[in-house]
Every structure is written in structure tokens, then in C-alpha cells.
Structure 1
Amino acid sequence: MRTLVHLSDLHFGRTDPAILEPIVAQVHAIAPDLVVVSGDLTQRARATQFVEARAFLDALPQPQIVVPGNHDVPLFNVAARLFQPLKKYRRHIQQDLQPVYIDDEIAVIGINTARSLTIKDGRVNDQQIERARRQMAMLDDHIVKVIVTHHPFDLPAGPQHHDLVGHSIPAMRAFALCGADLLLAGHVHTSSAVSSSAHYDIPGYSALVVQAGTATSTRSRGETNSFNVIYIEAERIAVERMGWQPDQGKFVRTGLQCFRQTGNEWTLEEAPPALADGDMQNPA
């Protein structure tokens, strides 16, 4: 079994300082095998904000997979936005915009969806899709395959002011061919976990699409600050949502969903007793 902590939309420059130390302490207590950060590390892509984000990442456990978001591209500096959109991200966070982590149970592939020519929307292109397809096609069938983007392949239920990541249908068809299991994203500041079958009609295939809310930002959209803890094993994934409780000064479980794979399709199932009772260290 592998444990992932999934954080998103940190928005340094608009963070709640009361959250920073507790979230670092709790992530260390979880002792994840991998920390995933799905974009928007900063509010306005300023150097000082990237420095703060870098310090936060350094305080979290390793290894990590981090991808940029649209807020990590300068908004008001037009020249930088057009010609060097992720220069500060590369300087302070990492050079690799599409990082990969692989061990003997999981493969996690980051894809950069941030673009210069849009304000908030994102996109995957054919080269990124083909690269991810080749990387996943080389893996053994027992490896659980995870894609990380900032912009989502599906949206939570309810009114939305966002679009799906551009070029999503060709990407999903490629993911179906190589058996991508889990798609992690952020952007909308609302958490959810759903099967892709409701949005993509691909016979015999569905992935699990998991959104994280904003972990540390004051830019909430009706949902408390939150992050996901994801427990992964062959043919089974459990998604635990951790929500910030100011009166307790910590994050507590506010939701739990378990999914099982049959063939190449992921479907929701009832949480086993061990999970429902709070024993997340032994979810089998």
C-alpha cells in the first residue's frame, strides 16, 4: 500500500498563517510515501511568494511531485507572461515542469497545464499526452498509474465558474489506452472524488478523478481549507478528506470515499469498517 498526501492551491501571498505549522506537522505525522502538490503555489507569481512556497515545501516530507498552476504565471507583467511565464517557478521551485515518481507500486506523472495566453484556464497538448502515454505504457499492469495536473479533468457537482482542462477528451482516450487509474488536480478550491465515467463515455474504462480544495489560502469558495490523504493499493483506492477546524487548531477527517477497480473501471464502494472507524493505517 502507498499513502499520498495531496495538497493544492497554496496561494502564498494569500495564506492563512494559522494553518501553516499545523498542516506541516500533520503531514509529517501521516508519514506519506509521496506528497503531491497540484499547482497554484503563489497568488501572483512574485519572487517573495515563491520563496515562501519553497520554504513550505522544504518543511514537508520528501519525496514530492509538484506541478505549476495558472497563478504561478505572472498576470500583470505581460512580457514575462508571454516569454518567460514560469521563470520564477523554475528558479525557486524546480526546473522540471513535468516530474515523475515511480516505485514498485505506483507511478505518478506530473503534467504542466499552465499557459501564457489564458488568465485562468489550462490545457494539455499532444506532446504532453504522448509523453505521458509512453511513460505509462512501459509500466507493469500491477502499477497504479497516477496523473497530476493543476486544471481538472472533471468538476465537482454544483455551479461552476471554471472549464475543464483543454484538450481533455484526447487526453482521456490516451489515458484509457495505457490504463491511467487516478487523476489528481486542484484549481476550483473544492474537493471531490468521482469516476470519470459520468463525463467521458469510454467503453470499458473509467479513472478516479480526485480534486483537492485549497490547503492554505484565504481564497475559499464556500469550503473550509482542506487536503486529501489517498491510500492506494492494487484495485483499491481510499480518499480521506481532511478539513481545517479553527477551534481545534488542526485538520480533521470530514469525508471518506473508497473505490474499487473492476477490469479497467473504478467505482465507488462502501467504506470497509477499518476505514469507517478511523484506522487508516490498515485499510485492507
Structure 2
Amino acid sequence: MSKSKLLFHLSDLHFGLEDNEALDWVSREIAERTPDAVAITGDLTMRARHHEFAAAEKWIHSLPVPVTVEPGNHDLPNYYLPSRYLNPLGRFEAFREVVERRIELPGLALVPLNSNVPAQPRLNWSKGWISTSALAECLMQLDALPDGMRALVTVHHPLRETGTRGTALTHNGTKALRELARRNVLGVLSGHVHDPFDIMEDVGNGSVRMIGAGTLSQRIRSTPPSFNELRWDGKQLDVRVRTLGDVATSDMMIDDVPEDAMPPREPGEPVAPVNKVPRTDPPKH
């Protein structure tokens, strides 16, 4: 029997507004624990600036383990539309080899799914959109895996389409989940909402486990900076939320994908009150 696999799932680093204490801690954890792979599910930068990507590239290339990165909505340039339309991932060039990288480990694969498009027929372009081509590419990679190999799909936006009215809604999310439910998928790793979660999503023809990571930036929503530690023993996938504070996983995880996934934009800026998802237990202090 092969040994269990240890994976670190990070998200929403937001270089430009990163939490350096949290990032230094995660770097030490990766160096000391040497996970089999690290999955980063999007929003490496705050505003897709060149210096933010340079900082992200330096940090990612310092990690001594295999890494796969999904682009997030913050990683597509908003202020220069020709770049957004013609080369939306152009600023990943310095570490393009890890972007949407499929990682195959003994018995387990990490398979990418891009949830970003350059433009959408709705005002809020921060929302997820699973294009026909992105879904086809993901399914092709899943179908090409060896018999018996399980998979974790990596994507930035949670694949929740119904039951939300705000920025968590992902166009074609239900369609994607129904296709994933037909395949040997252990779960879907995502970010975007800045709080961790672990939810079984029923999509009619089956269910899919959706696992969200928190943020490693200053843009916190209702939980402190964190990452997910995943362990797969060949039969069971365990998820533990890691944070610098002494907070239990059950107190870190929100109970559902929030309707409004927007955290405060900048420290000190006035923002609208955050609609927190109800929790079954109060957080520990």
C-alpha cells in the first residue's frame, strides 16, 4: 500500500496586499513538511500589476515542492483592456510552467479548471464563468487519467450556481459539477471567498465535494489568514484548516458559500457590512 499523500491548498495570496507574516509561516511549513504538492487556487495578485506578479513569482519559485497555480479574477488586468482580451495570462510569463499545471502523484492527480474569461455579459466580471472550452479541457484531462486514479480539480471560483445571488455565483458551475460527478473526482479545490469551507454539493446525478481555502492576505472576511492541509490515504480525504492562531478547523470553516464573497477592499477603507454565513458553533477566541 502506498503512503498517504500530503497536499497544501492555498488561495488568494493577493501580492500587493499580502500578509507577509502568514506567507513566511507557510513557507516554513512547506520547507519543513515537504508536502507532495501545493495547489494555489487563484488571486495571486491584488491588481495584476507587474511588481505584484514579480513578488508572486519570487515566492512561488522559492517553494521546494511541485506547485500548480490557477488564475483568479484579480490576476487579469482590468485597467488595460487590450492585455485582458488578447493575452489575459501574459503576466504569468515568469512562472507560466506552473499555471494550470496537471500534477500526477501515485494514485492521485491535480487537474486544472479555469473559471475566468476576459469579458462577460454582466457588470460584475469578478464572478466565475466556466467556458465550454475550459470545461472540455478539464474533462479531457480527467478522462485521460489511468484507470483507478482519483482526481482533485483546482479552480478559483466555487462552482456554485444556484442558491446564491451575489458574487459567489459561477456561470455554468452546475453544468461543471454534473460532469465532474460522473468522473472519479475526490473534490473540487477553490478559493475566492476568503473563508475556508468543505461542502457536499448535490447536483442531481450525484454529489461533489467542494473544498475552499481561505486567504493569505490582509483582505480577510470572517476568518484569519489560513491554508488547507489535505491528506489522502487512498480511501479518505481529510481536510484540516491551518492558521497562525489557535483556532479549530470546525471554527474556521463557514457552513455555506456566501451570497456576498467580497471582503473589505483595503485596510482602513469604509466598506459595507459583511453578511457572514451563520455558523453552528461560535469561533474560539
TM-score (structure 2 length as normaliser)? 0.79
Q: 1:42: which partner in 2?
A: 45
Is the contact made by 1:99 and 1:111 (CA closer than 8 Å) also made in structure 2?
A: no
SS in 1 for 2:128: coil
Aligned pairs for 1:120-199 (under 5 A) are: 120-154=126-160, 161-197=166-202
State the aligned residue count: 243
TM-aligned CA deviation for residue 15 of structure 1: 1.1
Is the contact made by 1:240 and 1:253 (CA closer than 8 Å) also made in structure 2?
A: no
TM-aligned CA deviation for residue 214 of structure 1: 0.3
Q: 1:213: which partner in 2?
A: 214
The structure with the largest strand share of the pair is: 1
Is the contact made by 2:16 and 2:45 (CA closer than 8 Å) also made in structure 1?
A: yes
Partners of 2:224 and 2:176 in 1: CA distance: 31
Question: 1:10 and 2:13 equivalent?
Answer: yes
**Residue identity (%):** 27
Q: Deviations over 1:169-227 (max 9, x none)?
A: 22122212222221000001010011122xx222xx32211000102x11111210000
TM-aligned CA deviation for residue 23 of structure 1: 1.6
**231 and 256 in structure 1: CA distance in 2 versus 1, 3 angstrom threshold:** farther
Of 244, 247, 255, 2:249 maps to 255
**9 and 219 in structure 1: CA distance in 2 versus 1, 3 angstrom threshold:** same
Paired letter, 2:158: P
Question: 1:242 and 2:247 equivalent?
Answer: no
- Structure 1, gaps ≥5 residues long: 246-251, 258-284
SS in 2 for 1:6: strand
Partners of 1:34 and 1:97 in 2: CA distance: 14
Q: Deviations over 1:143-191 (max 9, x none)?
A: 2211000011149x9x984233221122122212222221000001010
Is the contact made by 1:4 and 1:32 (CA closer than 8 Å) also made in structure 2?
A: yes
**219 and 201 in structure 1: CA distance in 2 versus 1, 3 angstrom threshold:** same
Q: Deviations over 1:66-92 (max 9, x none)?
A: 111010011212222222222112x12
Q: 2:118: which partner in 1?
A: 116
- Structure 2, gaps ≥5 residues long: 252-285
**160 and 32 in structure 1: CA distance in 2 versus 1, 3 angstrom threshold:** farther
Partners of 1:33 and 1:256 in 2: CA distance: 25
Paired letter, 1:134: M
Aligned pairs for 1:43-82 (under 5 A) are: 43-82=46-85
